[in-house]
Structure 1
Amino acid sequence: MSDVNDLTGRLEALEIRVAYQDQTIEDLNATITAQWQELERLKRMIQRLEDQVREAEARAGGPNLPEPPPPHY
């Protein structure tokens, strides 16, 4: 009878452990999904900023043009 009680206790402990692991896996999945969405949002933002910088450089005459000398030369 002691063996049955021991096995029952061990089985219950394992079931509890699996339940906590399942919850941890779900939490980690939610965190990873949220981080992936944030990365995608940041990538889009960086792309828009790069586009704005290119437009500003094109309107300003491009980055390769030499600066005019100061007025006192």
Structure 2
Amino acid sequence: MCMNKKEDHKGGIFHLLSTLNPGTDVEDVFINGREESVDSFATFNPFTGLAYFSKNNGEILVVDFRKIDAIEFN
């Protein structure tokens, strides 16, 4: 598998977010060691590095992918 060297340093979370489909069920996102409950994955912008998750109450959580430690799926 040939990867763009520019993206090699971005790591597993970057690549995972790049492959998720909008609406994918997500239980929790761990950000800098803190657990944040979410409902689903919304989108990921690989150019800005921002990941968007929707919460049960209709709020949107926006986080820089570099701060995500783990993602827990349903």
TM-score range, shorter chain: under 0.3
Give the TM-score, by structure 2 length.
0.20
More strand by proportion, 1 or 2? 2
Higher relative contact order (CA 8 A, sep 6+): 2
More helix by proportion, 1 or 2? 1
Give the TM-score, by structure 1 length.
0.20
Higher Cα Rg, which structure: 1
